[in-house]
Amino acid sequence: MNTYELISSLKIKQQIGKLPNTISSISHNSRQVDDNSLFICISGFTVDGHNFVAEAVENGATCIVAEREVNLDTNKATLIIVPDTNKAIATLAATFYKHPSHNLTIYGVTGTNGKTTVTTIINHLLTDNELSTALIGTNGFQINKDIYSSSNNTTSDVLTNQHMLYEAKNQGVTHVAMEVSSHGLEQGRLWGIDFTVATFTNLSHEHLDYHGSMEEYAATKVQLFSSLAIQPNKQKIAVLNRDDNWYEYFQKRTPVQIVSYGIYEQADFRATAIKYYKDRTSFELLTPEGSFQVQTKLMGEFNVYNVLAAIASVYVKESIPLTDLVKSIEGTPTPPGRMEKLESSGNRHIYIDYAHTPDALTKAINSLLPFKQNKLIVVVGTGGDRDKSIRPLLAKAASVADYVILTINDPRHEDPNNILQDLENGMLHHQYTCLENRKEAIREAINYSSPNDIILIAGKGKEPYQIIKNKKVAHNDATIALECSNELFPNI
């Protein structure tokens, strides 16, 4: 790309050296730089890109964007100094990839719980009605039904996001369903993306180690909605959960058309006459266009909210009849690791769920209680080096179960005993055990169980690894549960 065109929107404080005529790529990782690249220095929580300029130039960078002067041979690369490289990288990424979001209908879904499920349902509703789609979030990057990459974060960095949208547009995609995390919003990973529909699921205790308070957490989440009117080139719509305690907070800060959904409060899209079964949920959908009978394979009240959010989001933007959307809902698959029932031996009912907040765990347990015939056993853990205040609340939520195994999701650098002690402090009864090793915890749950017991393994969903210190160690709850079940009950 022409360098002058690329940097034309930057607020440049100083330029040292002659600009190269063209730039072949942009990177904030010095190891990923190649010939004729632009390297931008980002100061992260643990690493400062300004310290890796020499490596970037050695690997072929011909233009460096930084917040301060660095040791640089300007015969090899030009130095551009800007006030804020985090804002600069968003501008550069959008310009380099030719603002792909301007030509896409993008559904952004945010909230504490439900983001993955709602985006998955939106994606299914669109593809089932013959629209070309991309899905971006916790489970990676998917175009139509082809998976292109996995993801380490709910919301990727700003360069990756723009590149994914660029690739999607080039492959004929017209619609994108995208998870939007609070970290992504706070860190500017979504700057430069023009959202069409913003959907709010719910807000409950999470990430307070990062945000400090629920008020700050909400203020970060609401950025997705308050910024909808910045780009007036599209009709923008906000879809809000009328039953959530933070509804009015989001409503007052949303400058575009609002559509509501819910169960208990009057809403534009409302579920009533809900019936829960072992393998499905049914309800009557009340809408401005009349009432419709809905059947879904997804379990629990929280999934009724997820279905409502997805239907409302798609209907208010697309010209798809509600009868077609309701029909498509019947075929919506259960997202992997979201109340996923395993086909296991031993006549045990084993569920894998990503629930890692007190609210999500409570909802997951409540969705299973109506079908409890014998014992309910819950495996629950939390991560190291993260919000400690959430730990006793998770154990308290798990105490509804007959037997609880307290364990660890991702210990990182923290002493596992400290994590388990914090969890123990929240237990409301003594029918529990603590097992640091998550695989052993899963095995203990299955070994302790009897026929017709329900086992809920919560906290990691489909994640394929544990983070132990700085390493990712292979681990998958579902795989381990099936291995243990087959080993313990080989002939049942």
Q: d(Cα 22, Cα 373) in Å, to the nearest integer?
A: 68
115 annotated ligand-binding residue: yes
Measuring CA to CA, which residue among 62, 56, 61 is closest to residue 29? Answer: 56
Q: d(Cα 421, Cα 415) in Å, to the nearest integer?
A: 10
Q: d(Cα 61, Cα 308) in Å, to the nearest integer?
A: 49
189 annotated ligand-binding residue: yes
116 annotated ligand-binding residue: yes
260 annotated ligand-binding residue: no
For 151, half-sphere exposure in the C-beta direction (CA atoms, 13 angstrom radius) is 21
114 annotated ligand-binding residue: yes
313 annotated ligand-binding residue: no
C-alpha 218, offset from chain centre: 16
Token code pair at residue 205: 């205790």
252 annotated ligand-binding residue: no
117 annotated ligand-binding residue: yes
287 annotated ligand-binding residue: no
357 annotated ligand-binding residue: no
Q: d(Cα 121, Cα 175) in Å, to the nearest integer?
A: 13
112 annotated ligand-binding residue: yes
Strand 105-110 to 175-179 pairing: parallel
470 annotated ligand-binding residue: no
181 annotated ligand-binding residue: yes
Task: Please give the annotated binding residues, written as ranges.
Answer: 30, 111-117, 154-155, 181, 187, 189
Task: Please give the annotated binding residues for ATP, written as ranges.
Answer: 111-117
